[in-house]
Amino acid sequence: TVPQIKRLLNNAHALKNQSVPWLYPAGGLPPKRAKALRLPSQSLFNKSVAMLFSKRSTRTRVAAETSATLLGGRALFLGKEDIQLGVNETVRDSARVIGGMCQGIFARVGDHSEVEELAKYSPVPVVNALSSLWHPTQILADLMTLHQHSQLFGTPAPEAPHVPEHEQPQGNKHNKSLQKTKRPHAELPPLRPLTIAYVGDSANVLHDMLVTFPRFGHKMRVATPADKKYRAPDAVWDRVVELGCDKDIMWTDSPHKAVEGADVVVTDTWISMGQEAEAEQRYKDFAGFQVTEELCRVGGANPDWKFMHCLPRKQSEVDDEVFYGPRSLVFPEADNRKWTIMSVFDAVIGKWDLDGDRWSK
């Protein structure tokens, strides 16, 4: 739900603020300062997270392994050559056995049904690390990045909360309790409603944007090639409609139309993992879909538009000028994979116990 996502994002922001001084102490930590800093949540202390990855990964894997360490626990990387999952043992049996030894499962799978099956039979929480249909942890990082850069979009600063006169500090400089108004791990900055254009393939990353961004007040304009196979599958579109997101989504086969008025332009690879055999046909079908300065100028994007991409990136979908240029938010976006995955592990695995799923209550 939206409040749960907001909690995850605020927790990611706090975990980042707490962890960065530990990880990157400028010039080493002087002992006094070290004492003043708090360790981030140690909710994974003595716990293990099984990472079942049947596809490659750089960001998701590194984010998950380093997050588990920071939360005081451990992640076990189990690639498709390492374990029996779906090869010499059913997904159902592996879920029960792995879930009997670990406190959480983070799974990157082929067909989405595999992660559903894991969740059905695992005695511990299962988090989707990417499937054929969805990539939920990516969209958490995207939202966090947009909020952290809200000043680039001209988001007005929130109004200061009204404090009645009789409750206002009386200006006693020596009264410490009156000075404690600064919050060290303040919430993520607010963000004005944006127009977000997606130019590319209707794949897992876009699908999670479709069911999330409109619920946060953003409009989406999507361009995919004309062939129907590049439209969102029914399972995704049904969910979009169920959540009432469809009214805020415009879909076209024209990249120029999609970027009209866009504050943010996003794309993803044209050839997702597992689609390598279709590469030749896809390159033909996506002709004209490369994100460039010219495309966005001619299409009439907001002159200050920013660029996002989940990575890994190929030049075909976005040129170097945009990708490495001043509009690009791609590396902060990649960094935020860590804090958002850490937040998910903290909430869903670290603070969950066998007596009841406290997180969802």
Residue 58 interacting partner from ligand CP, ligand NVA, none (CB closer than 5 to 8 Å by kind): ligand CP
Closer residue to ligand NVA (CB): 270 or 305: 270
Q: Is residue 76 part of the contact set for ligand CP (CB under 6 A)?
A: no
Q: Which of 41, 204, 267, 302 binds ligand NVA (CB under 6 A)?
A: 204
CA dist., res. 98 & res. 49, Å (int): 10
DSSP H helices, the chain, are: 2-23, 31-36, 59-70, 91-101, 112-121, 136-148, 176-179, 204-210, 234-242, 255-258, 279-285, 293-299, 320-323, 330-344
- Residue 310: active-site member: yes
Q: Is residue 209 near ligand CP by the rule CB under 6 A? A: no
Pick the piece of the chain touching ligand CP (CB under 6 A) from 18-26, 37-45, 88-96, 308-316: 308-316
Indicate whether 58 belongs to the interface with ligand CP (CB under 6 A). yes
Supply the angle between the helices 112-121 and 91-101 in degrees, to the nearest 10.
50
- By CB under 6 A, tell whether 329 contacts ligand NVA: no
Q: Does 146 bind ligand NVA (CB under 6 A)?
A: no
* Residues 18, 37: Cα–Cα separation, whole Å: 8
For 296, the token pair is 């966005």
Which of ligand CP, ligand NVA, none binds 67 (CB below 5-8 Å, type-dependent)? none
311 near ligand CP (CB under 6 A): yes
The burial class, CB within 10 Å (0-12 / 13-18 / 19+), for 45 is exposed
Among the options 102, 245, 296, 310, which is catalytic?
A: 310
310 binds ligand CP (CB under 6 A): yes
Tell me how far apart the alpha carbons of residues 125 and 74 are, in angstroms, rounded to a whole number.
16
Phi/psi region, residue 171 (left: phi>0; alpha: psi -120 to 50; beta: rest), is left
Q: Choose the binding region for ligand CP from 56-64, 79-87, 187-195, 292-300 (rule: CB under 6 A).
A: 56-64
Candidates 41, 94, 138, 340: give the one binding ligand CP (CB under 6 A): 138
The set of residues, in sequence order, having a beta carbon less than 8 Å from that of 58 and lying 6+ positions away, is: 311, 312
Does residue 190 have a cis peptide bond before it, meaning omega lies within 30 degrees of 0?
A: no
Is position 59 an interface residue for ligand CP (rule: CB under 6 A)?
A: yes
Task: List residues binding ligand NVA (CB under 6 A).
Answer: 130, 203-205, 268-269, 272-273, 310
Task: List residues binding ligand CP (CB under 6 A).
Answer: 57-61, 130, 138, 310-312
- Which residues are marked as active site? 310
